[in-house]
Amino acid sequence: MLSDTEGGATISKAAIENATKVVDVDINGGWEIGQPVPYSSLAHVFGLIEATSKRLEITSILTSFLLLVIKRSKEGDRSSLLQSVYLCINKLCPDYQGLELGIGESLLIKAIAESTGRKMDAIKTDLKDVGDLGLVAKNSKNSQRTLFKPKSLTIPFVFSQLTEIAKTAGHSSQNKKISIITKLLAACSATTDEAKYIIRSLEGKLRIGLAERTLIVSLAHALVLRDQEKAGPAKSKESLALKLERGAQALKSVYSELPSYDHVIPVLLRVGIEGLKEKCKLTPGIPLKPMLAKPTKAIGEVLDRFEEKRFTCEYKYDGERAQVHRLEDGTIRVFSRNSEDMSAKYPDIYEQLPKAIQSNTTSFVLDSEAVAFDRTTMKLLPFQELSRRKRKDVKIEDIKVWVCLFGFDLLYLNGEPLLHKTLAERRTHLHQHFQEVPGEFMFAKSSDSETTEEIQAFLEESVKDGCEGLMVKMLETDASYYEPSRRSINWLKLKKDYLNGVGDSFDLVVVGGYYGKGKRTAVYGAFLLACYDSESETFQTICKIGTGFSEEALKTHTEALKGLEIDKCRSDVDAGGARPDIWFEPKMVWEVLAADLSLSPIYSAAKGTVDSRGISLRFPRFIRIRDDKNADDATGPEQIAEMYERQSLANKGPKKGAAEDDFW
Ligand code: ATP
């Protein structure tokens, strides 16, 4: 390893080789400077990425491509790079704008049939054999004879058509979508993978094994290389590799504060990596990914971790995370844990919050929990009350159960980000700039307790008051800075329920169903659940869950899952040895508790991490539907492996401190 004495970063020789390697990604002779990027080049790059599982290799391939896009763009062109980046992660805009791809299989089959002249049944049979509609589309093109050569697809064209499809809604939208997809497919060249990736994009999953964090590293590397080329040859390979490493760190940090390529990429192109931090900061109106907590199941663990440090315990309210932004012009926006704009769900927050804002407050970003609240008894209500509320178009006059907002952090105040202030300072600002309005806006109840007995007493009090337990947070030093998108060991969640279980609940995706027996034949009696590995973009099965459901619940789940039934296990589901009666589109997320974790020859979760076998949940118990989470927000195999290891250590003896895991 070489070490960077100035910055403290370390970088291996292999990483230097990879970071500075240029991969030939230009397959298209017709791509001239100033011309739109050919989609065939991107499809070629997707193919190269799909063919490898090595993260460093993927980074090199993507860096080379993005650098080429930058170098061949016209002066002042921001959109070529922006659109290329979005297509690589299969998005069309920042998450909070809510425009998503994810077209149903039957509509895509219809479009493939129309565009290639094949019968729908033949396409369905192929899909059963191959298991990948993208490949079926490509093969269908191969077998199609064309009279004239279609005009080549370009990135701006594909991007605009995908956007159009995602925006199309309402009356006759199906036909409109089919017509656009048919035209797109007709323009795909049969000798490339264009059709394969267009179909996969439309399905909502590219399945090439490209994680967003790898894209961010590649984007940073491309910009560093561009600037280095302008400045002349680097002093040495090592100095260039260090610049690349620092560039990647800088972009990761900026993007976690301002997760919008629309905002970051134009600045990146204009000022390069060096000047980025100064120009791109947390901005009200653009939600940042919230800081998350590590689970813990014993007060002793909390004290081990926070020994000799100042920390605070807060009530862990059982509601929905609400990141509330107020822009300088007074506009208020409420965002969910997933950066979804929830403004239409919470008209009550709009009515109530202004009373809680003190006159010395102009703009802010407030981290809080929206909790259902009984205004007569002045008591907290369980999460279920809130989950009955519609997610959109809620009218204030229809609200039966109101929410009270419990503020626990302040991330931005009067034009200044506060992320790099200590929690103690942020909390002081919160209390100085907001005021409590009972039942409408309150500060999260906290106690800066220090002993096991004090924490135990506060935990019990929190549960008595209707909370899930406590959040324990570092109060001082840089360890208490707000860490966007990170599941940090500086925040621990201590839930009463889990003190004797495995430590935390799991958010799992329903991927299969088993028919009920006896009087339950009309409904599913059990379900196959999976975790989600964002690294390989696969769902890995983890357990079958069948106990604890009432007849009524089974009926409701069966109805909700009917629309997600598919003929075959999706290619991004690693079923292991599980064979349910029916497969589902991986969409629905359930929160589940378990007695413990065990190694399993059947299930594939976290296979190869702690053992050659997978890990499964023993005695899983359904808790609730998590409709605030997407399938790719489900618990990851690394968290499952970590819980398994903690459990084995706990069974063996002294506990180990939890390792960091997060978006990066
Ligand atoms: P995670 O967000 O950790 O993936 P999750 O969404 O299932 O998991 P929990 O594990 O129950 O949620 O715990 C974290 C959540 O607790 C936060 O996202 C927030 O919504 C809620 N919460 C309630 N009270 C607080 C508090 N005082 N401080 C921080 N978060 C709190």
570 vs 540: CA distance, rounded Å: 12
Which tokens is 564 given? 């997600």
- pLDDT over 60 at 150, yes or no: yes
Of ligand 1's listed atoms, the one at least distance from the Cα of 635 is: 4
Banded model confidence at residue 29, pLDDT cuts 50, 70, 90: low
Residue minimizing CA distance to atom 24 of ligand 1: 316
Buried residues in 572-589 as b, exposed as e (16+ CB within 10 A)? bbbbbebebebbbbbbbb
The minimum-distance atom of ligand 1 relative to the CA of 295 is 10
pLDDT, position 654:
37
What pLDDT sits at residue 298?
Answer: 80
Atom of ligand 1 nearest to the CA of 628: 6
Calculate how far, in angstroms, residue 532's C-alpha sits from the geometric centre of ligand 1.
Answer: 19
Average pLDDT, the chain: 88
Q: Answer whether 321 contacts ligand 1 (Cβ < 6 A).
A: yes
pLDDT of amino acid 646: 79
170-216 pLDDT, tens digit per residue, is 888 999 999 999 999 999 988 899 999 999 999 988 889 888 999 99
Quote the ligand 1 centre to 321 CA distance (angstroms).
Answer: 7
Write out pLDDT tens, residues 224-249: 999 998 888 888 888 999 999 999 99
Nearest CA to ligand 1 atom 30: 316
**Least confident interval from 51-55, 58-62, 148-152:** 148-152
Confidence (pLDDT) at 5: 32
Band the pLDDT of 32: cuts 50, 70, 90: confident
Strand ranges inside 446-523, DSSP E: 446-447, 469-474, 486-495, 506-515
Task: Tell whether the model's pLDDT for residue 391 goes beyond 80.
Answer: no
Query: CB of 293 closer than 6 A to ligand 1?
Result: yes
Atom of ligand 1 nearest to the CA of 633: 4
Mean pLDDT confidence for 450-472: 90
Tell me the domain boundaries of the chain.
6-90+209-279, 105-203, 292-341+354-360+413-498, 506-663
pLDDT digits (tens, 9 = 90+) for 558-606: 999 988 998 888 878 999 999 999 999 999 999 998 878 999 999 999 9
Q: Confirm whether 6-90+209-279 and 105-203 share one CATH topology.
A: yes
Which residue is associated with the tokens 């997610």?
A: 391
Residues in the chain: 664
Residue nearest to atom 4 of ligand 1 (CA): 292
Orientation angle between helical segments 194-203 and 39-50, nearest 10 degrees: 80
Collapsed DSSP state (helix, strand, coil) of residue 514:
strand
Residue 403 CA neighbour count, 13 Å, CB half: 30
pLDDT number for residue 374: 94
- Using the predicted structure, report yes or no on whether residue 484 has a pLDDT greater than 60: yes
Q: What is the pLDDT of residue 365?
A: 98
Q: What is the pLDDT of residue 661?
A: 38
486 lines ligand 1 (CB under 6 A): no
- Helices 39-50 and 55-72, interaxial angle, to 10°? 170
Separation of CA 610 and ligand 1 centre (Å) = 27
- Predicted local distance difference test score (pLDDT) of residue 439: 96
**C-alpha to C-alpha distance for 622 and 599, rounded to whole angstroms:** 21
Check pLDDT > 80 for residue 518.
no
Arch. (CATH architecture) of 506-663: Beta Barrel (2.40)
Cβ(503)–Cβ(646) below 8 Å: yes
**Residue 658 pLDDT more than 80?**
no
Q: Mutation test of ligand 1: which of 493, 494, 497, 592 has the most ligand atoms closer than 8 Å to its C-beta?
A: 493
DSSP code, position 476: S
Q: pLDDT of 246-295, one tens digit each?
A: 999 999 999 999 999 999 999 999 999 988 999 999 999 999 999 999 98
Q: Residue 424 C-alpha to ligand 1 middle, in angstroms?
A: 19
Among the ranges 144-148, 383-387, 502-506, 509-513, which has the highest mean pLDDT value? 509-513
Q: What pLDDT, in 10s, does the model give residues 622-656?
A: 988 998 888 989 999 999 998 888 776 655 543 33
CA–CA distance, 405 with 418 (Å, rounded to integer): 20
Q: How confident is the model at residue 158 (pLDDT cuts 50, 70, 90)?
A: very high
User: pLDDT (tens digit, 9 = 90+) per residue, 530-561?
Assistant: 999 988 888 999 999 987 788 888 999 999 99
Ligand 1 lined by 369 (C-beta under 6 Å): yes
Active site residue ranges: 316
Ligand 1: residue whose CA is nearest its atom 31: 316
Please give the CATH architecture assigned to the domain spanning 292-341+354-360+413-498.
2-Layer Sandwich (3.30)
Nearest ligand 1 atom to alpha carbon 629:
6
Write down the pLDDT at residue 132: 87
Ligand 1, atom nearest to 444 Cα: 27
pLDDT of 6 over the 60 cut: no
- Ligand 1 centre distance from Cα of residue 498 (Å): 14
444 within ligand 1 shell (Cβ under 6 A): yes
Task: For the domain made up of 6-90+209-279, give the CATH fold.
Answer: DNA ligase i, domain 1 (1.10.3260)
Q: Would you say 644 and 606 are in contact if contact means Cβ atoms under 8 Å apart?
A: yes
- Give the percent of the chain with pLDDT over 70: 91
For 317-349, how does the pLDDT look when each residue is reduced to its tens digit (9 = 90+)? 999 999 999 999 999 999 999 899 998 999 999
Maximal C-alpha separation, the chain: 81
Q: Which residue, by CA, sits nearest to atom 8 of ligand 1?
A: 292
What's the confidence (pLDDT) of residue 67?
Answer: 94
Q: What is the pTM of this model?
A: 0.81
Q: Report the pLDDT value the prediction gives residue 170, as an integer from 0 to 100.
A: 84
Residue 500 pLDDT:
54
Confidence of residue 4 (pLDDT cuts 50, 70, 90): very low
Kindly report the three-state secondary structure assignment for every residue of 181-222: HHHHHHHCCCCCCHHHHHHHHHHCCCCCCCCHHHHHHHHHHH
**Topology at the third CATH level for domain 105-203:** DNA ligase i, domain 1 (1.10.3260)
* Cα-to-centroid distance, 367 and ligand 1 (Å): 11
Q: Mutation test of ligand 1: which of 289, 291, 317 has the most ligand atoms closer than 8 Å to its C-beta?
A: 317
662 has a pLDDT exceeding 50: no
Q: Is the model's pLDDT at 9 over the cut of 50?
A: no
The residue to mutate among 291, 292, 336, having the most atoms of ligand 1 within 8 angstroms of its beta carbon, is 292
**For residue range 400-413, what is the model confidence (pLDDT) as tens digits?**
889 999 999 999 99
How many A from CA of 617 to the centre of ligand 1?
A: 22
Pocket test for ligand 1, best of 288, 338, 471 (most atoms within 8 A of CB): 471
State the pLDDT confidence band at 8, using cuts at 50, 70 and 90.
very low
Tell me, letter by letter, the H, E, C secondary structure of 404-440: EEEEEEEEEECCEECCCCCHHHHHHHHHHHECCECCC
pLDDT band per the 50, 70, 90 thresholds, residue 472: very high
Calculate how far, in angstroms, residue 491's C-alpha sits from the geometric centre of ligand 1: 10
Residues 301-314 have pLDDT tens digits of 888 888 889 999 99
Interval 599-627: pLDDT, tens? 999 999 999 999 999 999 988 989 889 98
Q: Which residue's CA is the nearest one to ligand 1's atom 1?
A: 292
* CA pair distance 420, 398, nearest whole angstrom: 41
* CA 69 – ligand 1 centroid, Å: 40
